[in-house]
Structures are given as structure tokens and as C-alpha cells.
Structure 1
């Protein structure tokens, strides 16, 4: 069958469906095979598309046998050798006999099956492309637009005509988004579902801050500065340990930016979540002391590398700051640096006879 119109429209269909030419060809092929099977009551058909000649070739396929059997290849309809030889005198048992047919002769039910399989294949390819697109953003940050607000979630437009939900439990306490607002979210997981891919997003995930740091601080994206440890009470406070791989670059200064410009943008993106930056160190005592900032640490003692535990001594007037409200500062310090930290004031240490 010659069909110049079909080949001329391939690019238009591919663009409309956001598919490749190969995917459109494959969907059309699967549709023709389904129609052929229905029209000719066979189990197998073959399609060949010759774009250079604008030609569409469709063939029925039969397995040639000397006698009909239920034990042979069930992928093919069977044809007795005697009947097959009437079509091709050189055919022999075990060969596949192909007969060219014209899709224009498809009846109502064959056309129905053709259209159904064609659309099914197009949609399947669209789903696969959509899944692969968002899978490439898994564990990354994306921009989304709020299109609906409910009591327990925000509905977000994440592009490619796909929406997802940001549960309020995955949002930050101070998030107060309205329809039309743009928001940055972290893609925590992408799953293929029956209908369309499902993209799971979060604003409370610790890695959202890392992606924001990479976005606003070129030195982190380029690997000059590394994020070594991070802990977070989403929406309230985060503690981040950074180190520089270039002695000329101050990791804290680079992250804060001139006049606090960089860190200010990150805090704004997190609905005013406070961020404590501390300098990472390979020296355990320095690391622990830095992690407890903004509290001043007099000494770090009783360091046990095996159990990764230590005791920090702080001035009396710094004890509450070192521990933090409801123990938040020490908790975040422990999570960020990976050490178990006990804290005592100087008076407490002296009273217990602790030398430091």
C-alpha cells in the first residue's frame, strides 16, 4: 500500500505526542499487526514500512506443517504443506509462509482493533517517555506551580501536562502557598503506575537544601566546596557542615555570600528556615566544637573514636545555647557530624573532677 500522507504526517504526530519518529512508526506497526490478525484470523503478521518509497507492506504469516498439531509453535497459525504449495511451490515444512495483504481491505472490526492498538501503543510510549523524563530528576530539585490548595495538600503542575500532590506533611510549617505561586520541591521518588507515572515530592527532605546550595553557590556545584554533613528540623532550623577543597576559598564565606546574599535566597526559598553553617574538620575535636556553634566550646574531651562519642565543655553561660531549645542544637550537631556528644558546663566539669 502506498501512503505518502502517512509518512508526511509522522513528524507532526511525533511532535504533538512528544514522541520520537521511531516510536510513532512502532505504534503504527503494532496497530497494523492487530488489524491484520483480526481481518485474516491469524496469530502472526509482519509489517514493513519503506519510507523512501512511501510504502506500507503487511503480510500474514503461517507455519507450514505436514499435519495440524496443538504441540507446535503457538505463535503462528498453521497451514498444511499441500495448501501452502498452491501459494509457493518451493515452500517446505517448517517454513513461514508470508502473504501480502492490503490494509485498505480491513473490515469494521479490524479497523477498530487497528485504532485501539495504535492508540494504546502511542499512550504507552508517552507514559514511558514521561516516566523516563521525571526519573532523570529523581533526587533532584524541580520548579513547580501551585494549581490548587486543599486542607491536606497542594496540587502542583510539574510540567509535561503532569500534576502531583505535595502533602502538607511534606511541606514546611511556614509554607503558605496560593494558586499561581512557584515553589521548589525535591523529587524523592518516581513510580510507574497503571495510568501515568507518579512523582513524589517533598520540601522537608534534607537534600532539598543541598540542591538549593548547589543552585545558589557555584563553588558547591563545581565541587570546590563540599557539603559533608547535614541535619534538619524542617521549617525551623538546619545545620550544615561544609569544607573547601581550595585553600583560597573560605567555605563559610562562599556559602553566605557578599552581605549574606546567597544564604538569604536559600532561607527565602525555605520559608525562612534558619540555617547554621559550620566548618568541617578531619580533627574530631574541631569538628565537634564547630558543629555546636553558635555556642562557644572551651574543650572537647573523652573522645572515643570507636564509639564516636565525646564530651564537650562549654562556659556556664553557653550551656543552654549549646543544648538549644528542647535540645535542638545538640541534636542537629550530632546528626550533622555523626558523633554522639555529651555537654557539660565548666562548673559541672570541675565539680565532677573532669580534666580538660
Structure 2
């Protein structure tokens, strides 16, 4: 068969490669696969209205497409096995036929033949299939390359540029590194900052939140401006002591999108020093607040509290409520991580924060349930009684949970024992293989003989009945 010409094939591959940001060899592979699918469709259409389609899923596995970029065309090739008697013309070829052109041919050898159909025979349906498959394969390759490129990034924070808006999401262009092509990423509404101005071509630092593996029409990268990881990254880049390892960020609690518009975004960062002479809070704030101001500017004015971490839970909780002044921290239920914090009356609203934001962030930061109490009105005896009741209730719930788990474990053990017994009586096919030539009946009989080898005779049966009488 002659070469099927595709004028402008080389330019087509280059254009697709540039448009889709894919290597030329990837585009060539997708085109070959698409043409092969088109050939399959062409072969199947020959049976439309004539008979049943005889091809299964693996029928065309020995077919391939070869692209000729110099002459700008393609060929369909089939690998066929040489046999004495042909049963499938698409997979086999007669030895006598091959020996007409190759005297040394032998049965069992494989030959590659050109089976390209004429271009006018290829058909409109086959051409449409080729176009559809090519578009799908290119999308699949794009998704696969994006997953490989972004899934294992060491630095999850990227510089993003606003491209357009879709519903409530912002579509941004991001790149994994210098010289790498830009790809689209989606910034959902819940991951946006209320103070951001997402105008066209504006740039922002974003946190790579997810690389979707599910096929979808839109971007498969999801980025966030509200993720706590963005705060960690910004501090790491502004504070040399964090980069050197003398200061570490222990925990971050962030509320980038408060439930009410009257409350602004706020973050609490707990830091610790590896070296005694280094002040971790001062290092993060910087001279006259220069370092933390850079972070605040990138987050568009978000309030940030840098507090010192402590291994003492009471001290850590007191620090976490900054800027409020705390009198006493009572760890009323250390097991359940419940604390009462006593503050002066003039510090009560500051400790709680507007709509409870300050104490809410402190609780997230420390992992403790924190109750703010007025120190002048605190009745320790009554409060202890309430806490004791809560502890008793918690312990009762934990006991019920343990009982339920033990009951479930016992039921599972009983079912497993019953399954094992039934499997001995009625073995599965794989069990029969283990027994070799023995049948299940033989196994059961041998077990019964081991348990009771005595023979019951009519005389012994009558004696047993007389004894019973």
C-alpha cells in the first residue's frame, strides 16, 4: 500500500506541541494512537449492516502506525506470524506466500506488513474518530505531565498570575520553575482572601493545595491563599534564623475567612528557639517589625500574632491568648485537655476576641479546650463540680465505646471461628488443591475416624437402649 499523505504533518506536530506545551514526541505518540483507533473504526464500519462485528478488544494489538515526517504521511503496519495454514489473515500469513519473496522464511517467524487503506476508503467516520481520540490523548498527556511535574514539588508555594474568572473561582497561570511552561490552576472562593484584589494579570503567592488525578475539563491544579502553609513559607523566606534551623515554627492556626465580615482574617504562629540566646519571637518580628511586615503585606493586611511555644501547657495557653493578659491557667482536665483561663475583667473581651476569634485560634493552636473566665467572679468549687460531672460523662462514654469495640471484636472472632469450621467441612477449590488428590469427603472422614474409631453394632445398640431403660 502507498503512503497516506498528510500535508503539513511536521508543522501540525510543532503547532500542537507549542499550543499544548507538550514535547513533539508525545504529540507524535498521541497521533499514532489516534490514527490506529481511526483504522480500527474503519475496519469495523465495513461490517455495518452486513454482519456482526467480529473484533474483540485485543484484536488489533498487533497493529501499529508509522509516521513519516520527511514525506509527511503515515502507514498502518501489521505484525503477522508465519504459519503453514492461515486461520486469521490479520494475525497470520502463509509460509508459501512469504517464501515467494524470502527463501529463508520459516514457520513461527514474524513479518511486518503494510496494510494501509487507501485514503478515500478511510471514511468520514474513521477520520472523526481519529480527531476525537487525538484530542482526548492530548488532554490525557497534559494531565499526566502536570501530575508528574507538580505532584512532587519540594516548594509548594508558587507565583501565580490572574488569567480570568469562572463563577466564583479565579483561574491563574502557574509554573513549576524557571523555563517551565505555565499551566492553569484554580483558586476556589473558599481559598481566596477577603482583602485580595484579583484583577487581570495581578500576581500572588499561592499554596499548591491539590493536584487532581480525576479527569476534568478545567484546571487540575488547586491553589490556596488561605492555607496555613503559605504563612509558614513566607516566614521561612523572611526569617534567616528559620532557614538556618535555630528557630522553628511549631504550630500555626489561621482563620483567613472568618464567619463574619465584621471580623478580619487573623493568624497565630507558635515559634520556638533551638538555641537559648536566640529570641524566636523577636527574630520573626524583626527590627521595628520589618520582617513580619513583609508577611503582612503579602497577606494584604492580615493580623498575625507570633507567640512563644512552651512545653508547659499552662504557659503555652497563656502565651497563645496574646495580646490579652492572663492571671491564672487551670488545667482542670489534663486527660481531656480542658483548661480554665482566669483573666482580669478589663482583659475579658480582649482574651475572647471579636466574635470569639482570639480564643478560637488559641484553642486550635494549642489543641486544648479553653474556657475564658472572669477572675473576680470565678467560683472554683462550683466550677470543679461542673468539670467533675463532665469528666464522669466522658469516662462513661469512653467505657461504652470500649465495650462496643470489645463486643465487635468478639463477634468477629466468633465469625472467623465459624468460617474456619465451615471451611473444614466444605473446603474451597484452593483448599482442595492443598489436600492434593484427597477429596473433601476423604478429609472429613479421616477427621471423623480420628475422633471416634469404635464400631457400633446392633448388639451394642440394644445394650445401650436397655441401659437407658
Map of 1:71-90 to 2, 5 A cutoff? 77-90=91-104
The aligned residue for residue 249 of structure 2 is 227
2:212 is aligned with 1:191: yes
Q: Which residue of 2 aligns with 1:339?
A: 368
- Deviation, 1:309, is 1.9
Aligned residues: 342
**Is contact 2:78-2:115 (8 Å) kept?**
no
Q: 1:147 aligns with which of 158, 163, 170?
A: 163
1:66, CA displacement in angstroms? Answer: 4.1
Q: Which runs of 5+ in 2 are unaligned?
A: 4-8, 45-58, 68-73, 176-180, 257-263, 385-469
Equivalent residues in 2 for 1:59-78, closer than 5 Å:
60-69=78-87, 77-78=91-92
Task: Classify 1:144/1:247 alpha carbon distance in 2 versus 1 (closer, same or farther; 3 Å).
Answer: same
User: What is residue 410 of structure 2 aligned with on the other side?
Assistant: none
Corresponding residue number in structure 1 for 2:196: 175
Q: What TM-score results when the alignment is normalised by the length of structure 2?
A: 0.59
Hey, what does 2:435 align to over in structure 1? none
1:336, distance to aligned residue in structure 2 (A): 0.7
Q: Distance in 2 between matches of 1:28 and 1:237?
A: 52
Q: Secondary structure at the match of 1:131?
A: helix
Q: Give the CA deviation at 1:278.
A: 0.9
Q: How does 1:1-356 map to 2 (within 5 A)?
A: 18-20=21-23, 23=26, 26=29, 43=60, 44-45=62-63, 60-69=78-87, 77-99=91-113, 107=119, 109=122, 124-137=140-153, 140-148=156-164, 152-159=168-175, 160-192=181-213, 193-195=215-217, 197-234=219-256, 235-349=264-378, 352=381
Paired with 1:169 and 1:196, the residues of 2 have a C-alpha distance of 18
Cα deviations across residues 67-122 of structure 1 (Å, max 9, x unaligned)?
A: 4447xxx9x622234334434444444432234x599x974649979x86778766
Aligned to 2:178: none
SS at match of 1:349: coil
Q: Deviations over 1:268-315 (max 9, x none)?
A: 221211011111111112111111111122222235332222222222
Kindly indicate whether the alpha-carbon contact (under 8 Å) linking 2:272 and 2:309 is maintained by their aligned counterparts in 1.
Answer: yes
SS of equivalent residue, structure 1 residue 180: coil
Of the two, which has the highest radius of gyration?
A: 2
Structure 1: runs of 5 or more not aligned: 50-55
More strand by percentage: 1
Are the aligned partners of 1:301 and 1:310 in contact in 2 as well (CA < 8 Å)? Answer: yes
Inter-CA distance 339–123: structure 2 relative to 1 (3 Å threshold): closer
Shift of 1:259: 1.4
Q: CA deviation at 1:337?
A: 0.9
